[in-house]
Amino acid sequence: MLHKTKGIVFRFTKYGETSIIVNIFTEVFGLQSYIVNGVRSNSKRSKIALYQPLTLLDLVVYYKENANILRIKEVKCYHPYHSITHVVRKSAIAMFIIEVLNKAVKEQSHAEEIHEFISRSLLLLDRQLHFENFHLIFLLGLSKHLGFGPNLTEEIIGGHWMDKEEEQLLKELMQADYETPVPMNYDQRQTLLISLLRFYSNHIDNFGEMKSLPVLREVLQ
């Protein structure tokens, strides 16, 4: 059966000589896998751009309950990024977000609200001039939509030590949105990031080490 939906590309893997299997988080069905034939062939190579991670898509897809791999009938990008793909610091944040999403977002429930949060966040990042705390607020917001959002700073800090100033900054971040300025220095931002990633590891099985973290640290200095 055919359905219209929006979707956000999470990742793709090569399949066969010219095809891919792409994981897309859809507004209607949550995380789904689709096979796209021939997209790596010389004649269709330009279409591979549609399946780069975090691309925002309008889709017409086939859906069958309990099917492992589905097919796409129609696809187009509804918002080509203006700065995420060109501004190095934004690209590093985007790489970090891609990794978090692939580790953390596995469920099909609440698909519409999770999709709305991720897509709105990406559109804001694409146009923001000040985004030093973006990844921190993204982690806090995503945790709420995944069902383990913290109510108190102690839930994030756990048994680890954090000084009073950093704890106050964390409290402000928990109440902030992307447009709210929360001034802090590089070291404070790193401390809060490590605390949030530890918080994620405590709630998500096999969350593991973030491979994009060294690049993010370097470019946000």
Q: pLDDT per residue over 87-97, tens digit each?
A: 999 999 999 99
Q: How far apart are CA 129 and CA 125, in angstroms?
A: 8
Q: pTM of the predicted model, to two decimals?
A: 0.95
- Whether residue 54 contacts residue 8, with contact meaning beta carbons closer than 8 Å, is answered with yes
Q: What pLDDT is attached to residue 45? A: 66
- Residue 34 confidence (pLDDT) above 90: yes
Query: Both tokens of residue 219?
Result: 């470019």
The Cα-based distances of 56 to 18, 123, 180, 191, 210 in angstroms read: 23, 9, 25, 32, 24
How far from 70 is each of 17, 24, 58, 209, CA to CA, in Å? 19, 11, 16, 31
Structure confidence at residue 177 as a pLDDT band (50, 70, 90): very high
Average pLDDT of span 173-182:
96
State the pLDDT at residue 109.
Answer: 82
**pLDDT tens figures, 89-143:** 999 999 999 999 999 998 778 999 999 999 999 999 999 999 999 999 999 999 9
Mean pLDDT of 26-32: 96
Domains annotated for the chain, with CATH where assigned, are 2-77 (2.40.50.140), 88-219 (1.20.1440)
- Average confidence score pLDDT of the chain: 95
The pLDDT of 70-85, averaged and rounded, is 96
Rounded to 5 degrees, φ, ψ at 186 are -60, -45
